[in-house]
Amino acid sequence: MGYGSTGNILRVDLTHGSIQVDAFDEDFARRYPGGKALAGVILLRELRPGVDPLGPENVFVLAAGLLTGAPVATATRFTAAARSPLTGAYGESEAGGFWGPELKAAGFDAVVVTGRARQPVYLWIQDGQAEVRDARHLWGREPAEVQAAVRAELGDGQVRVLQIGLGGENAVRYAAITHELRHFNGRNGMGAVMGSKNLKAVAVRGHRRYLELAHDPQRLAELGRRLARQVKQHPQSWDLYEKGTPGLVGGLNAGGILPTRNFHAGAFEGAANLSWDAYEKELLIGRRSCYACAVRCKREVSLDDRYQVSSAYGGPEYEAVAAFGADCGVDDLQAVAKANELCNRYVLDTISTGATIAFAMECFEHGLIGPEDTDGLELRFGQAEAMLQAIEWIARRQGIGDLLAEGTRRAAAQIGGDAPMFAMQVKGQELPMHEPRGKANVGLGYAVSETGADHLVSVHDTLVQNPGSVAFQGAKPLGIIRALGARELNREKVEQYFIFENWVSLGKAIGLCYFGPAPRSYMQVEDVLDVVRATTGWDVTLEELLQAGERATVLARLFNVREGFSRQDDQLPERLFTPLEAGALTGVALSRNEFERALTDLYTLKGWDPATAAPSPERLRALGLDWAI
């Protein structure tokens, strides 16, 4: 096509077994450049309001980004999207790895799945062709077995198999999707959507080189080589190579912003046992990468000790270490690694699983649930064996696991009493392991994110609070002119948030990992512009790219407005407005007045109605979304 896209969308109707290919043109690609943007426009246009997220009428989209598959480190991401069974809102989850680039190589930018198969099936896509195949023999089997069986059946060991596990089959509302056994579309329950459609897997194989899609392949290849060298020279990407995300534990604990015992405290007395030093000594056996990525932030672990942990399912990221460690009050790193492996085997989101168990532990300690509900299990903070048993029950929907598989919001409503106060969620999605009382804009992002609480909607405050930092210098071209304190939440901080939100959203549309572009990592703002220009031939400006990111966010917001969401849903858990109980920020709480004022300022800045949080017709016209008014 000459501008980074194949121009093709594969459509599969599982109810009728029909397959067709739709084409889109360059103007469409420039307005909706893949990933989050492409998924958003498809869902808004094609999904009827009010459908059951686990019913056949839900529309499931897999969409690669504009740059996904380019020979540039971190250009690997793709989006899975549908109406979320966890939140009832716009549902979306990104993953890196190898599947997105393979989809592009197979001739498609996106796959749109509708309907429901009568029996388990998998979708096989190869070089512009597709077919629906029987998967009854794969249902109920573990991901490693499924991947091996599909590759053997298709006679190709290089097939990329995107699949659900036991969690998706049993409609756990935060079930994830995995490929290569260690890359995950984790949040919003997209695995449950696949399971509800009897879609066990989507296998892909392609042989088209991305450079064939590029406007200036020689220039793009040169940029890729230069940027790969830049990875090793940049302190943040080098740190990610050395430690990955598990290296965050020590710093966050020292700063008093490591969520502990269901967000009661910001520091954990057992943090040293979960630190990078302990991780490297006890667990680490290697470093892994995504497609064409020099950052190599993935950790590979193995254990043959008190717990058996297979290296096949990767290793725990920071979110899993914190969720099953500090948030559940568990200081046993081996147990944390086992918890992560169980989630990966059953294909559950580690954040929501850990946070839901922490919620259950607090309910147990307050007598809202008891041994009669847990088959005698003492489900208390710090009880590693109870935590591991709870994961098994959730995946299988056994006993109290059936309730916890619904997520904290639904479980709290059923338990009653003070349980809703213990549910650390926004719009039904559990909070990631980052403390808003120490990162004010992270809290703002949790609240306004269309998918529910999400830590990857903007740039974290602590990263750019130091004017001398590499990250702050990298953010300057975006219009970030002054370093602000991490806990500030004034008008200037809201303006900073809005810029970063659009920049991060752009990354989700063009397929760049969060660990690629500045200020988080090695790829500077001008580098992103150069790569997009070489790929597409478009003389894009930074303003145009930021507007593309904003457009993708607005599409998701319009979806939620149509589903009845409003400002009242952009709220944080009450606990965040109460003081932290331990750590360097003991006694610190968010100010409700500051938070509400920041929401109003943000809506006004976005051109949204401050009362309803709905985008105005004027803003929609400015973004070229007249059709959505």
Domains, the chain, with CATH or none: 8-213 (3.60.9.10), 247-430 (1.10.569.10), 440-628 (1.10.599.10)
CA triplet 516, 522, 527: central angle to 5 degrees? 80
CA distance 195 to 173: 11
Q: Which residues of 243-263 are buried (b: 16+ CB within 10 A; e: fewer)?
A: bbbbbbbbebbebbbbbbbbb
Residue type, 166: L
Cut 0.95: pTM above it: yes
List the chain residues with pLDDT less than 50: none
* Predicted pLDDT of residue 74: 97
H-state helical runs in 449-524? 470-475, 491-510
Here the tokens at position 400 are: 């109290």
- Nearest alpha-carbon partner for 388 in 432, 348, 439, 446: 348
CA distance 459 to 134: 43
* Predicted pLDDT of residue 2: 82
* Predicted pLDDT of residue 462: 96
CA distance 382 to 363: 14
- Work out the burial of residue 197: count CB atoms within 10 Å of its CB; fewer than 13 is exposed, 13-18 middle, 19 or more buried: buried
CA distance 193 to 53: 7
Please identify which residue in the block is written with the tokens 């534990």: 249
CA distances from 53 to 133, 468, 478 (A): 24, 47, 37
CA distances from 385 to 346, 411, 511 (A): 18, 22, 39
CA distance 584 to 605: 33
CA distance 112 to 59: 7
Cis peptide bond N-terminal to 519, omega within 30: yes
* Predicted pLDDT of residue 232: 87
For residue 181, the 8-state DSSP code is T
Residue type, 244: G
- Nearest alpha-carbon partner for 87 in 199, 17, 192, 226: 192
